[in-house]
Amino acid sequence: SKIKAGLIWFNGRLVPQEEAKVSVLTHALHYGTSIFEGLRAYETPKGPAVFRLQEHTERFFHSARVMRFEMPFGPEAINQAILEVVRANGYRSCYIRPLAWMGAHTLGVNPLPNNPAEVMVAAWEWGTYLGDEAVRKGARLITSSWARFPANVMPGKAKVGGNYVNSALARMEAHQAGADEALLLDKEGFIAEGSGENIFFFRGGVLYAIEHSVNLMGITRDTVITLARDLGYEVREVRATRDQLYMADEAFMVGTAAEVTPISYLDHRPIGTGEAGPHTLRLRAAYMEVVQGKNPRYEGWLTYV
Ligand code: PMP
């Protein structure tokens, strides 16, 4: 594996990466019946801290509920597992991936009954998701030919493994076309989200957040809305179209992995000046300050390892 995850918490025990293995008859491998989370821990003046641990664990258990997983560990055990993995590997900062899945009890499409979920938490050192250049200069996006699935097709507010076939198709296509990321529209043609990020834009000094419809209710999105309001921005949650992004002064995308990344081009059109905009950079700086424990006002979002 190219990923170096060191010690992995695997069904309740810390084991070396090479020992954290599953059967090829795992239900999730065949049908996408897994749920997961993605968190980051950052180096702070008081040591490593996990950002918004409670919210991520809560969403993990909401995803489990949607998939009717019987979870062998409760939220507090998962919180502890997450902290333990960061601690045991001695990371100062890392990306953390909790995963639960339907194991090798049956290969009928219905994974129930008698298929208690298996659970693991792995963490590895992961820099900027979209590359340092995208962070500084802005990422280039193209609108995907793949639509974000409607709410009666897949449970898009749950982080279900199978949902990410949609994201992977969109992202492969975007990369092949020379773009950094894909913009997915919903089946009516309104902006849904990136393959792993929520979308925002600025117009006339007002910050517009794409409303919750078929997109994931991102924790970074919530963080950025809170920070923007505290900085005095008016924030409106709206349904918006791709041409609204073409006309925006600035646009950016947010996610645990992507953090706050400016969007410089969409479908070969520059957004605003075609460079990272000042409001976006201000919000990015505010976000990085908070996750790195440099703003005491938001200490409550940090869990020290
Ligand atoms: N949308 C999708 C499809 C995602 O996978 C992610 C990453 N979890 C996001 C949005 C951003 O969510 P968050 O800010 O909670 O990481």
Nearest to 149 by CA among 170, 129, 174, 130: 170
User: pLDDT at position 136, please?
Assistant: 86
Number of helical (H) and strand (E) elements in the chain, helices listed first: 8, 17
Q: Is 67 in the pocket of ligand 1 (CB under 6 A)?
A: no
Q: Is 220 in the pocket of ligand 1 (CB under 6 A)?
A: yes
pLDDT tier at 192, thresholds 50, 70, 90:
very high
List, for residues 145-163, the tens digit of each pLDDT value: 999 999 999 999 999 999 9
ipTM: 0.99
What is the Å distance from ligand 1's center to 193 Cα?
A: 9
Question: Cα separation of 25 and 28, whole Å?
Answer: 9
SS3 162: helix
Q: Is 197 in the pocket of ligand 1 (CB under 6 A)?
A: yes
In 85-218, beta strands by DSSP E: 94-101, 118-124, 139-143, 181-185, 191-194, 198-203, 206-210
Give pTM, 2 decimals: 0.97
Question: Cα separation of 227 and 62, whole Å?
Answer: 25
Q: 């006002």: which residue's tokens?
A: 297
Active site residues: 159
User: pLDDT at position 184, please?
Assistant: 98
What is the Å distance from ligand 1's center to 215 Cα?
A: 9
SS3 170: helix
Pocket test of ligand 1: the residue of 57, 186, 197 to mutate, having most ligand atoms within 8 Å of its CB, is 197
Nearest to 207 by CA among 282, 266, 269, 143: 282
Q: Strand 34-36 and strand 94-101: pairing?
A: antiparallel
Pocket test of ligand 1: the residue of 159, 164, 166, 220 to mutate, having most ligand atoms within 8 Å of its CB, is 220
Measured CA distances, 85 to 22, 96, 282 (Å): 19, 8, 32
- Distant-in-sequence, close-in-space partners of 174: CB < 8 Å, separation ≥ 6: 141, 142, 144, 180, 181, 182, 195
The identity of residue 58, as a single letter, is E
List, for residues 225-280, the tens digit of each pLDDT value: 999 999 999 999 999 999 999 999 999 999 999 999 999 999 999 999 999 999 99
Q: Is 216 in the pocket of ligand 1 (CB under 6 A)?
A: yes
Q: Is 259 in the pocket of ligand 1 (CB under 6 A)?
A: no
Closest Cα to atom 9 of ligand 1: 197
201, two tokens: 């834009």
Pocket test of ligand 1: the residue of 35, 57, 198 to mutate, having most ligand atoms within 8 Å of its CB, is 198
Closest Cα to atom 11 of ligand 1: 255
Mean pLDDT of all residues belonging to the chain: 97
Measured CA distances, 97 to 73, 158, 160, 162, 305 (Å): 16, 15, 13, 16, 16
